[in-house]
Amino acid sequence: MKLRLRARCLINFAALVTIFGGSLIGPDAYAQPPGDWIDAHFHLVADKDDLESFDEAARMALESMDAAGIRTIAIMSPPRPKENFDIESIAGVVKKYGPRIVMLGGGGTLNPMLQEAARSSVVSEEVRRRFAETAQRIIASGAKGFGEIAAHHVSLTPSHGYESVPADHPLLLLLADIAAQHDVPIDLHFDPVSEDVEKPATLSSPKNPPVLKENIKGLERLLAHNRKTRIVWAHAGVDPVGFFTPKLAREMLGRHPNLWFSVRPTGPTPGAMVPPKGPINEAWIAVLRDFPDRFVIGSDNFVVPARYTGPDAPRIFAQRAEVQRRGILRLLSHLPPDLARRIGYENAERLYRLNR
Three-state helix/strand/coil letters over the chain: CCCCECCCCCCCHHHHHHHHCCCCCCHHHCCCCCCCEEEEEEEECCCCCCHHHHHHHHHHHHHHHHHHCEEEEEECCCCCCCCCCCHHHHHHHHHHHCCCEEECEECCCHHHHHHHHCCCCCCCHHHHHHHHHHHHHHHHCCCCCEEEEEEEECCCCCCCCCEECCCCCHHHHHHHHHHHHHCCCEEEEECCCCCCEECCCCCCCCCCCCEECCCHHHHHHHHHHCCCCCEEEEEECCCCCCCCCHHHHHHHHHHCCCEEEEECCCCCCCCCCCCCCCCCCHHHHHHHHHCCCCEEECCCEEECCCCCCCCCHHHHHHCCHHHHHHHHHHHHHHCCHHHHHHHHHHHHHHHCCCCC
**In the complex, what is the shortest distance from the CB of residue 49 to Zn ion, in angstroms, rounded to a whole number?**
23
Give 259's strand partners: 231
**In the complex, what is the shortest distance from the CB of residue 150 to Zn ion, in angstroms, rounded to a whole number?**
7
Choice between 189 and 294, CB closer to Zn ion: 189
Choice between 118 and 188, CB closer to Zn ion: 188
Choice between 235 and 330, CB closer to Zn ion: 235
**In the complex, what is the shortest distance from the CB of residue 17 to Zn ion, in angstroms, rounded to a whole number?**
17
Choice between 24 and 151, CB closer to Zn ion: 151
Site for Zn ion in 233-262 (CB under 5 A): none
Stretches 111-119, 185-193, 268-276, 320-328: which one binds Zn ion (CB under 5 A)? 185-193
Stretches 128-136, 189-197, 221-229, 280-288: which one binds Zn ion (CB under 5 A)? 189-197
Site for Zn ion in 107-146 (CB under 5 A): none
Nearest by Cα to 335 from 272, 289, 266: 289
Choice between 163 and 168, CB closer to Zn ion: 163
Stretches 112-120, 138-146, 182-190, 239-247: which one binds Zn ion (CB under 5 A)? 182-190
Choice between 328 and 335, CB closer to Zn ion: 328
Q: Give CA–CA dist 289/154, Å, rounded.
A: 29
Residue nearest to Zn ion (CB): 189
Q: How many CB atoms lie within 10 A of CB 27?
A: 8
Stretches 186-194, 242-250, 277-285, 335-343: which one binds Zn ion (CB under 5 A)? 186-194
Q: How many residues bind Zn ion (CB under 5 A)?
A: 1
**In the complex, what is the shortest distance from the CB of residue 147 to Zn ion, in angstroms, rounded to a whole number?**
9
**In the complex, what is the shortest distance from the CB of residue 307 to Zn ion, in angstroms, rounded to a whole number?**
24
Nearest by Cα to 288 from 240, 219, 335: 335
Asked if 264 is part of the footprint of Zn ion (rule: CB under 5 A), the reply reads no
Q: Give CA–CA dist 209/296, Å, rounded.
A: 31
**In the complex, what is the shortest distance from the CB of residue 148 to Zn ion, in angstroms, rounded to a whole number?**
5
Choice between 78 and 242, CB closer to Zn ion: 78
Stretches 48-56, 139-147, 184-192, 246-254: which one binds Zn ion (CB under 5 A)? 184-192
**In the complex, what is the shortest distance from the CB of residue 264 to Zn ion, in angstroms, rounded to a whole number?**
8
Stretches 30-38, 61-69, 80-88, 181-189: which one binds Zn ion (CB under 5 A)? 181-189
Selected binder of Zn ion within 80, 160, 189, 320 (CB under 5 A): 189
Binding site for Zn ion (CB under 5 A): 189
